[in-house]
Chains A and B, each alone.
Chain A
Amino acid sequence: MKKYILLIIMIMFASCKKSYIAEIEPNNDFSSATPAELNREVRGYLDSASDTDFYQLISSEDTLVSLELSAVKGVNHSVEVFFDDGGQVRPVKLIDDVRKSSAEKMPNLFLQSGRYYFKISYGDRDDAEGNKDAYYVLKLTSGEYISSEKEGNDDFNSATAIEQGETFSGYYYPAFNKLNRRKDSELKEEDYYAVQVDCSAENPVLLDVSVTGVENVDSVLNLYDPFQVLIATANNNGSGQGENFSDIGLTKPGKYYVSVSSVNFEVNFDVKYQIQMMVKPYDTSIEMESNNDYQRANRIIDNVINGKIFPAGDSDFFEINSGGSDGMFRIEVIPPVGMDIKLELLDESGETLAEADNFKDGEKEIFPNFYSESRFYLKVTSSGSYADAEMGYAVSVNESKKDPTEEIEPNDSVSSANKVKTRIIKGYISSNNDKDYFLIDPGSRVKVKFSVSGIDGTEFDFSISDSLGYAIKTETINGTDVKVIEEMIDSRGYIVIESKGDVSNFPYSIEIGD
């Protein structure tokens, strides 16, 4: 009987272990690290100004861990996490909120299988003072890994891989990443995500990335290509609001990276952000960002393309090619409500050939008769701070044969004047400051009669000028007026049409007789 009682007592002692793990000093380096376990508290003391405590954890499988180091009154401490990578111990994360008497937390720490070290030491703030009376508690609580960031996903190499279309979550926490010494983002806590994209120059795809808003955090997204080159930044909305990229064109296959961070080191430990990346097939009727300069212009195929001005200040460039011997283009752009659209046409070297900004918000802009035998570019922008990720504008381009009686823009100066070759000439008031020059070159001094027909709803000045372009006679043509004007032409002179009213889609005409 006594034997049995003794056996029971021994068994009880064997199974009665503490609920926490106590540090075993000295544990001041990797080799003397106190063993720790998941889901068991570790208690220790920073009992002198120079004390550092190391703990080691063997992770048997990939695990998501929530790390918490309790506050110690009067102490600013920090936790640094290391991974033993085949004998090479490398830092994974340094958690320090730079506050005294404050806990340190890391909600989404990812542990792959292997050996980890946790170093508890003093933070940078204030002088270190030991505290022999109050212990800290280090807790490593395992959780199920479901579509979450894997801290420390602090650079390209450690980016959390996500599948396109999946929604992942993360935290804007901690405030600082003291291991981040990159010049452009020093000390910033950034979360990196990577998505594999299959595409090519012949078969591009479009990428949408969105991040939800988190209270008290003003977020910023950066997008990098497979060569880790920054290709887009989204920082258009304020605190508490999400950010996104829309219709980013991708032509290089490989891993694309997105970094998520807060603008001013804001944090929110309680609320997660959600991130999603969507890859869409490229539709030639939709612009492909980034097309922010003429070298990256989208080709307009099938005469129509749609685009968006997003973010504010966005410029969209489109390439237009003459189909052959036609070369006369009518270009219309219809904006959404609220957008005051501005257009520019540029030549192959990026020089501006013509501009259109004649109408108000929500009203279309037009180039009614632009002539070109070679490639040129259309630039679309908006005035002010307009931006809309949802509603876009529509571009239509129609090419037709050159009408010999029609003006060819640009002809807004003596040097670019259209030479008159027909008895009838037609032109358009295509901008608020439009000026059209036509050269008359009879070769001798003759009197010429001009019969000028106006345009309903607008007015313009009709002038005859000398050979240098100085007006000799001017008549105002109002609405559908038809006026007959006679004037001497001294071997060479110009007809000058100058807009005085609204732009019109309809032409004026001038019949020239002796």
Chain B
Amino acid sequence: MKKIIIISVFLAGFFSSCATTDNGDVISGPVYKKPGSYNFVLSVQDTNIQNPSNDRRCYYKIYIDKIDSGRTAIGLESQTKTFNTALSVNKHLIEIEKYILDEEQGKYVKVNNIYQPKPSYTYFDVMEDKIVKITVLQDTAKNKAQIIVDYEKD
């Protein structure tokens, strides 16, 4: 008897975690945003900036599959700068280059290779029904980048 009760409790718990819709479909885990005009988003941010005088206007130039594909929006290094586009369903390579504003010259100049994000690239897969989101966090103190590949959630 005890065995039956235990098994019954286990089964009740198991089935209650499997919610059903009116249609009888099973929903589990996070819901991903479906692609619209774009299926790829890049978001770049510099972190660990201690002093506003070191927080400069900048953008990141983007190469997808070794082709100049544009750039992120312009913002302070501490701000999140984004870029989005539509890519084919495939594996892709993304590389980024950082440009900062040189006020003396009156233009944006490419940052010295020493201070470019490392790593500055990653491979990723574009799927049919999801928006790839790549987040790059460049730690300016350690001069090291963290690249996170995920999918945009709803």
Interface residues of A (CB under 8 A from B): 445, 447, 463, 465-467, 469-472, 474, 488, 490
Distance in angstroms between the alpha carbons of A43 and B110 in the assembled complex = 102
Given contacts A465-B107, A470-B101, 17 further A-B contacts (CB under 8 A): A445-B73, A447-B70, A463-B107, A466-B57, A466-B74, A466-B108, A469-B106, A470-B57, A470-B103, A470-B106, A470-B107, A472-B71, A472-B74, A472-B107, A472-B108, A474-B107, A488-B73
Give the distance to chain B from A69, nearest Cβ to Cβ, in Å.
80
Across-interface contacts of B99 in A (CB, < 8 A):
472
Give the distance to chain B from A232, nearest Cβ to Cβ, in Å.
48
Residue contacts A-B, CB under 8 angstroms, 27 given? A445-B73, A447-B70, A463-B107, A465-B107, A466-B57, A466-B74, A466-B108, A467-B74, A469-B106, A470-B101, A470-B106, A470-B107, A470-B108, A471-B106, A471-B107, A472-B59, A472-B71, A472-B74, A472-B99, A472-B107, A472-B108, A474-B107, A488-B70, A488-B71, A488-B73, A490-B73, A490-B74
Give the distance to chain A from B117, nearest Cβ to Cβ, in Å.
19
Q: Which of B68-121 contact A (CB under 8 A)?
A: 70-71, 73-74, 99, 101, 103, 106-108
Give the distance to chain B from A363, nearest Cβ to Cβ, in Å.
31
* Interface of chain A: mostly helix, strand, loop or mixed: strand
Across-interface contacts of A488 in B (CB, < 8 A):
70-71, 73
- The residue in chain B whose Cβ has the minimal distance to the Cβ of A466 is B74
- The residue in chain A whose Cβ has the minimal distance to the Cβ of B108 is A472
Give the distance to chain B from A450, nearest Cβ to Cβ, in Å.
15
Across-interface contacts of B103 in A (CB, < 8 A):
470
Give the distance to chain A from B67, nearest Cβ to Cβ, in Å.
12
Give the distance to chain A from B105, nearest Cβ to Cβ, in Å.
9
Distance in angstroms between the alpha carbons of A188 and B70 in the assembled complex = 80
Interface residues of B (CB under 8 A from A): 57, 59, 70-71, 73-74, 99, 101, 103, 106-108
Across-interface contacts of B71 in A (CB, < 8 A):
472, 488
- The residue in chain B whose Cβ has the minimal distance to the Cβ of A493 is B74
Q: Which of B59, B71, B107 has the most CB of A within 10 A?
A: B107
Give the distance to chain A from B35, nearest Cβ to Cβ, in Å.
18
Q: Which of A463, A466, A469 has the most CB of B within 10 A?
A: A466
Across-interface contacts of A472 in B (CB, < 8 A):
59, 71, 74, 99, 107-108
**Which 5 interchain pairs have the tightest Cβ spacing?**
A471-B107, A490-B73, A466-B74, A488-B70, A472-B108
Give the distance to chain B from A475, nearest Cβ to Cβ, in Å.
13
Give the distance to chain B from A285, nearest Cβ to Cβ, in Å.
46
- The residue in chain A whose Cβ has the minimal distance to the Cβ of B74 is A466
Distance in angstroms between the alpha carbons of A463 and B70 in the assembled complex = 16
Give the distance to chain A from B48, nearest Cβ to Cβ, in Å.
25
Across-interface contacts of B107 in A (CB, < 8 A):
463, 465, 470-472, 474
Give the distance to chain B from A182, nearest Cβ to Cβ, in Å.
59
Across-interface contacts of A463 in B (CB, < 8 A):
107
- The residue in chain B whose Cβ has the minimal distance to the Cβ of A447 is B70
Distance in angstroms between the alpha carbons of A466 and B107 in the assembled complex = 9
- The residue in chain B whose Cβ has the minimal distance to the Cβ of A472 is B108
Distance in angstroms between the alpha carbons of A472 and B107 in the assembled complex = 6
- The residue in chain A whose Cβ has the minimal distance to the Cβ of B103 is A470
Distance in angstroms between the alpha carbons of A398 and B99 in the assembled complex = 47
Across-interface contacts of A474 in B (CB, < 8 A):
107
Distance in angstroms between the alpha carbons of A2 and B101 in the assembled complex = 134
Across-interface contacts of A470 in B (CB, < 8 A):
57, 101, 103, 106-108
Distance in angstroms between the alpha carbons of A330 and B99 in the assembled complex = 42
Give the distance to chain B from A493, nearest Cβ to Cβ, in Å.
10
Give the distance to chain B from A340, nearest Cβ to Cβ, in Å.
31
Give the distance to chain A from B72, nearest Cβ to Cβ, in Å.
9
Distance in angstroms between the alpha carbons of A209 and B149 in the assembled complex = 90
Give the distance to chain B from A64, nearest Cβ to Cβ, in Å.
76
Give the distance to chain A from B106, nearest Cβ to Cβ, in Å.
6
Distance in angstroms between the alpha carbons of A488 and B108 in the assembled complex = 14
Distance in angstroms between the alpha carbons of A248 and B113 in the assembled complex = 70
Give the distance to chain A from B103, nearest Cβ to Cβ, in Å.
8
Give the distance to chain B from A21, nearest Cβ to Cβ, in Å.
92
- The residue in chain A whose Cβ has the minimal distance to the Cβ of B83 is A488
Distance in angstroms between the alpha carbons of A469 and B107 in the assembled complex = 8
Give the distance to chain A from B100, nearest Cβ to Cβ, in Å.
11
Give the distance to chain B from A451, nearest Cβ to Cβ, in Å.
18
Across-interface contacts of B73 in A (CB, < 8 A):
445, 488, 490
Distance in angstroms between the alpha carbons of A463 and B108 in the assembled complex = 11
Distance in angstroms between the alpha carbons of A447 and B85 in the assembled complex = 11
Give the distance to chain B from A474, nearest Cβ to Cβ, in Å.
7
Distance in angstroms between the alpha carbons of A317 and B106 in the assembled complex = 37
Give the distance to chain A from B75, nearest Cβ to Cβ, in Å.
9
- The residue in chain A whose Cβ has the minimal distance to the Cβ of B107 is A471
Across-interface contacts of A465 in B (CB, < 8 A):
107
Distance in angstroms between the alpha carbons of A488 and B99 in the assembled complex = 14
Give the distance to chain A from B61, nearest Cβ to Cβ, in Å.
10
Give the distance to chain B from A131, nearest Cβ to Cβ, in Å.
86
Across-interface contacts of A466 in B (CB, < 8 A):
57, 74, 108
Distance in angstroms between the alpha carbons of A466 and B73 in the assembled complex = 10
Across-interface contacts of B70 in A (CB, < 8 A):
447, 488
Give the distance to chain A from B121, nearest Cβ to Cβ, in Å.
21
Give the distance to chain A from B55, nearest Cβ to Cβ, in Å.
16
Across-interface contacts of A469 in B (CB, < 8 A):
106
Across-interface contacts of B59 in A (CB, < 8 A):
472
Give the distance to chain B from A444, nearest Cβ to Cβ, in Å.
11
Q: Which of B57, B74, B108 meets A471, CB within 8 Å? A: B108
Distance in angstroms between the alpha carbons of A465 and B57 in the assembled complex = 13
Across-interface contacts of A467 in B (CB, < 8 A):
74
- The residue in chain B whose Cβ has the minimal distance to the Cβ of A445 is B73
Distance in angstroms between the alpha carbons of A463 and B105 in the assembled complex = 13
Across-interface contacts of B108 in A (CB, < 8 A):
466, 470-472
Give the distance to chain A from B57, nearest Cβ to Cβ, in Å.
8
Distance in angstroms between the alpha carbons of A26 and B26 in the assembled complex = 148
Across-interface contacts of A471 in B (CB, < 8 A):
106-108
